[in-house]
Amino acid sequence: MPKVNLLDGSGVPRRSELNLNGFEMSVVADDHSSLTVNQKFLVEFFESKTDGKRLANRNDFEPEEIIKYLPYVTIFDLDVNDRGEINDIKVRLFGTALSDFYGEWTGRYLKADDRKDSLKLTHPKTYKRIFAMTALLLIKRKAVSLFSDQVSAERSYWKIRNLAIPFSRNGTDIDMLFMYTELNNEP
């Protein structure tokens, strides 16, 4: 198992790091009862594409098969070194509903982006959640779900649920991440 700290790429994660300041993460196991209906559909959809024999791949599906989810989907390219540490994450695709909420991020790198409108400066909690989910996913090599009762201090009335599914171009090495996001502003 690679040694990856959930936030910065160093050290071994401890159980306490799974519930970090305002958000809770869990590895998606065979029991999908804690997932939302949409999350459960997506986990089972990708499992059906691979028969559990390898990691999912972007080529496993046609966008039309999951069209209703696409506005809430992000696909990340992962830059991971030989030690399993996250060098950076590039936003390959950012769904339209997410762009409307957060701003457009397609084509941007999360760590290397030092602009004043970077994700780490404008949405630091979101930035930390993405790196924490990615690190846990790299360690466990399974989908990860996340819940936060606050998107950010400025949007404290928004709750967020994420589902991150590991993708691999070669079926083995995790080099992409498929993430589905549910935003809810109900009490």
* Amino acid at position 104, single letter: E
Centre a 10 Å sphere on the Cβ of residue 79 and count the other Cβ atoms it contains: 15
pLDDT by residue (tens digit) across 56-97? 998 999 999 999 999 999 999 999 988 888 999 999 999 999
pLDDT by residue (tens digit) across 157-182? 577 889 999 999 998 899 999 999 99
**Rounded to an integer, what distance in angstroms lies between the CA atom of residue 143 and that of residue 43?**
8
Average pLDDT, the chain: 83
In the chain, where are the structural domains located?
24-184
Topology of domain 24-184 in CATH is: Beta-Lactamase (3.30.450)
Q: Are 136 and 25 in contact (CB under 8 A)?
A: yes
The answer on pLDDT for 39 being more than 60 is yes
Beta strands in 17-143 (DSSP E): 19-20, 23-27, 73-80, 86-94
The answer on pLDDT for 2 being more than 50 is no
pLDDT by residue (tens digit) across 15-35? 434 555 667 888 887 667 789
**Rounded to an integer, what distance in angstroms lies between the CA atom of residue 184 and that of residue 10?**
33
Select the more confidently predicted residue: 183 or 94.
94
